[in-house]
Amino acid sequence: MRSPSPDLTTRARIRDAALELFGAQGFSATTVRAIADRADVSAALVIHHFGSKEELRAACDAVIVDEIMGRKSATLADMGSQADLSATMRGWLADMDTFRPSFDYLARMIIDGGEAGQALFDALVDRTEAMIAEGVAAGAMNTPSDLRTTAVVVASYGVMPLLLERHIGRVMGGDGLTLDIVRRLTVPMLEIYTHGLYADDTALAAATAALEGVLDTSRGPHSDKGAGDPNQDPDPPE
């Protein structure tokens, strides 16, 4: 959980306690009383500040979107200086324990699939789309063929390690998203984004042609049903 601060407001202390408990055990299983106990306040004070548990969850949603997407915006801002970018990334890795409740909360909300989780994912995609558009305008990113879909892919990849944390940790010889595993994931992820994976555009060209229904009909049996028709006769009449 975040380190307590002597000047942390009561409202922020309640929100952080709720964020930790919602992430660890889910919204339905977390009571207002449990949140109050964790924040060392009364249940009445929780309701006084937030009105209801649902409003408290909305406040947690907002802070998670700002934390996660704010980091991606920082990456874009630091693109001009490799030293600044490296320093920022080292700072994030060093804060893994501090921000672990935030990661757990994000994973929980996405997995739950309720309205709050849907709104949170939508917000992540919207902010990612804006980040890519800004990157393209700044000359730091290539122009995608489909901006919205690219934003969906990037946002999904961003939350994937959170959803598959145990599996990733297991195959990489660790226990969940440890600091060492996050460090190992960082450079390969940026290599894919920066240089790509394929050495040429063969796969891209083939996929594009297939999706457009432009298939190579120069070899194999011919059909009178047209290229790209999935119901072509494999043995057409002469």
Q: Structural domains in the chain?
A: 60-163 (1.10.357.10)
* d(C-alpha 190, C-alpha 178), whole Å: 19
The pLDDT-based confidence of 78 (bands split at 50, 70, 90) is very low
Predicted pLDDT of residue 29: 93
* d(C-alpha 92, C-alpha 160), whole Å: 18
Confidence (pTM): 0.63
Predicted pLDDT of residue 7: 42
The candidate with the shortest Cα–Cα distance to 59, out of 31, 22, 28, is 22
Q: Tell me how far the alpha carbon of residue 91 is from its chain's centroid.
A: 19
Chain-wide mean pLDDT for the chain?
A: 79
Predicted pLDDT of residue 1: 47
Mean pLDDT lowest among 1-15, 70-84, 168-182: 70-84
Question: Half-sphere exposure of residue 58, counting CA atoms within 13 Å on the CB side?
Answer: 8
Q: In angstroms, what CA-CA distances link 184 with 53, 107, 123, 180?
A: 38, 21, 28, 6
H helices, E strands: number in the chain: 11, 0
Predicted pLDDT of residue 195: 93
Q: Tell me how far the alpha carbon of residue 200 is from its chain's centroid.
A: 28
Q: Which residues of 151-173 are buried (b: 16+ CB within 10 A; e: fewer)?
A: bbebbeebbebbeebeebbeeee
Contact indicator for 221, 234 with CB cutoff of 8 Å? yes
Question: Half-sphere exposure of residue 238, counting CA atoms within 13 Å on the CB side?
Answer: 0
On the question of pLDDT at 74 being above 80, the answer is no
Predicted pLDDT of residue 235: 54
